[in-house]
Amino acid sequence: MTTEASFFLKVYDVVRQIPEGKVTSYGAIAKFLGAPQSSRMVGWAMNAAHSLTDVPAHRVVNRKGMLTGKHHFGGATVMQQLLENEGIKIIENQIQDFEKHLWDPVKSLKGF
DNA sequence: ATTCTGACGTGGG
DNA sequence: CCCCACGCCAGAA
């Protein structure tokens, strides 16, 4: 709570606006928030987002398109199931055609 | 206060 | 493309 809007809240705002069937990376969000060096904090924010229900954290992966945090969804295949349910193919925790499903907040929201 | 860790990213090899 | 080392910041022990 160093500022009015915690870094977390900003992250939630962006994640909530990720279209269905789309994904983005922690770095993209961090960069959009103006903290490209705090990409790890985005992950930490997601950890706190775990309590919320309207934050599709499963649509957020690392820059390689790998489901690094699937272990935090309470199940080993929960995250993959959710993504596949949206039309995204995943093989070995790796999103296929990652760039194709990539949704960049900087490009889509652009100063929102 | 210090130390480690982590749902990451980048740069060098 | 992969692998390794470092930087980053917040929180837990």
SS3 annotation, A61-84: ECCCCECCCHHHHCCCCHHHHHHH
The residue whose CA lies nearest the C1' of nucleotide C1 is A64
pLDDT digits (tens, 9 = 90+) for A12-27: 999 999 999 999 999 9
pTM: 0.92
For the domain made up of A7-108, give the CATH fold: Arc Repressor Mutant, subunit A (1.10.10)
Give the start-to-end residue ranges of the domains of chain A: 7-108
| A103 and A23 Cβ atoms separated by less than 8 Å | yes
DSSP state of A19: P
- On the question of pLDDT at A3 being above 80, the answer is no
- Nucleotide showing the shortest C1' distance to residue A44 CA: B7
Question: How crowded is the C-beta side of A107, counted as CA atoms within 13 Å?
Answer: 7
pLDDT tens profile A43-89: 999 998 988 899 999 999 999 999 999 999 988 899 999 999 999 99
